[in-house]
Structure formats: structure tokens, C-alpha cells
Amino acid sequence: MIRILHVTDTHIGPTPDYELYSYNTYQQTQRFVDYVNHHMAFQPDLILHTGDVCYNPDSLSAKLAYEVLSQLKYPLYVARGNHDDPQALCDYFPNLPHENKHRIDYDFIHDDYHFIVLDSFGHVQPAGEIEPEQLIWLQKKLEQSNSASIVIVVHHLPVWTGNGWLDARMRIINGDELFDVLQPYQSRIRVLLFGHIHVPSTHWYRGILCSSAPAVFSQFIFPDDPQERFTVTSPGGFSFVTITTNQVSILHHQLGDILDGD
């Protein structure tokens, strides 16, 4: 069994007083870190951050993000979001690879669980894309994997949702090419985790379970018309992902006021 704390979209800016849609993202992330370290009953084996660690793609934001996220008492792995500068993330986050700082693709093993993290940064913002050489790299990693359980990690939305705004603007535009590579291994791919859309969601596509976590700093509600503005609501959250030999369980939570319940 493995327990994963899935977090995403902290959107930290270059200064601690930076606000996005009237939310102080640094303070919200600090609240999240304090909750995880001091109040959370769920004991994760590791934390996966599915990207947009920063809002500004610069070194100051990455430094500030590392300052707060490095306080987490569990191992932290991050994916690159469309707002992240890969070089800046690699400079501060020690679990990231240091060979190629332009694309953050990497994998790691935890117990028998094989995690493959793909950089889904796209050429047309804010949509995502997986480059042909990344698909070749992914294919090799899957071919060589001896793990009974594989977890795929990306930032962007990998599937269609039926929501016009999300489907037009937030998807990995060549998502089906990604699934062409993944599908032969679907019996061992236990879940694909992603962020970017700021809402918890669940999808089942070509035999693979896909799940997004709520963003740490706020939630978005998307209109159907891609030309309209989205709505920013309520405090953010995170997800608990538990994978056993025969089950995947995902619980989504909001980071509201912390009160004791009976």
C-alpha cells in the first residue's frame, strides 16, 4: 500500500505579500504546510505536487516556494506547471533532475511503486502538450518498468471533460498520443494524477483512472463558453490518494477553518 498526498497549484509569487484573485498565495500555502505538519491524521508516504508551484516563472518565486514547501515533513516531488520556470524549479527543489533543466521529465521508485513525471508544458498557453521525444522516453520507461504499480504525473488536463472552457483551453492537445503509449500498460497504471484545472475531478479513459486535486490556493468554476471568464471561489484544498493491491481510493478535502469534530 502507498499513501500519497496530492497537492497542486500553489501559485506562489515573488514576494510573501503577493495576491492572486485577492488570495495571498504564500500565506495560503503556509496554512497548508502547517495543516499537513501539525493537524493532518493522514500519514502520507510522499507528497506529489502536480505543478504551478509558482505563478511567476522566475527565480524569486521558486526560492520563496521552496522556502515554504521545504518545511513539509514528508518527501516532496513536483511536476512543472505552465507557470513554472523549469530552470528555477531545478535550482531549488533537490528531488528534481539536473541533467535537463528545460524539460522536467523524471521517474522514481518508492517501494514497488514506479512514478513517472512528465512535463506537459505546451506551446499555446494555457494548453498542454507532450513532445514526440517525451513520448519515446515514456515508452522506454514503461517497457523497462518492473513495478506492479505505476503512477503517471502531469500538470495539464489529459482528457476531454465535456466542459467547453476546459476542453478548449486546458487540455493536453495531443492527449490521445499520450494514451496510445499508456494504454498497453493500463493494467499496471493505477492512476494518472494531474492539476491545472483547480477543481477535483475524476475520469476513466482507455482503461486508466485520472484524477485532479483541488488547488491549494483557490477553486475555479469554468463556464462552458471558452471566451467567458471563470469564477474564483472558496479556499483551496488537496487530495488523499491511497493505492492498495486491489483498490485506488481518493478523498478530496477543502482547507477551510480547522475545527475538531466528534
Q: Which residues bind Fe ion (CB under 5 A)?
A: 52, 81-82, 196
Which triple of cell numbers denotes residue 104? 522536467
Of 40 and 173, the one with the shorter C-beta distance to Fe ion is: 173
What is the DSSP track for 202-226?
EEEETTEEEEEPPPSS-EEE--SST
At its nearest, how many Å lie between Fe ion and the CB of residue 109? 27
At its nearest, how many Å lie between Fe ion and the CB of residue 200? 15
At its nearest, how many Å lie between Fe ion and the CB of residue 121? 10
Which triple of cell numbers denotes residue 39? 493537524
At its nearest, how many Å lie between Fe ion and the CB of residue 53? 10
At its nearest, how many Å lie between Fe ion and the CB of residue 128? 9
Of 50 and 174, the one with the shorter C-beta distance to Fe ion is: 50
At its nearest, how many Å lie between Fe ion and the CB of residue 215? 9
Of 50 and 134, the one with the shorter C-beta distance to Fe ion is: 50
Indicate the residue whose CB is closest to Fe ion: 196
Of 119 and 141, the one with the shorter C-beta distance to Fe ion is: 119
Of 44 and 122, the one with the shorter C-beta distance to Fe ion is: 122
Dihedral of CA 103/3/111/193: which sign?
A: negative
Of 11 and 114, the one with the shorter C-beta distance to Fe ion is: 11
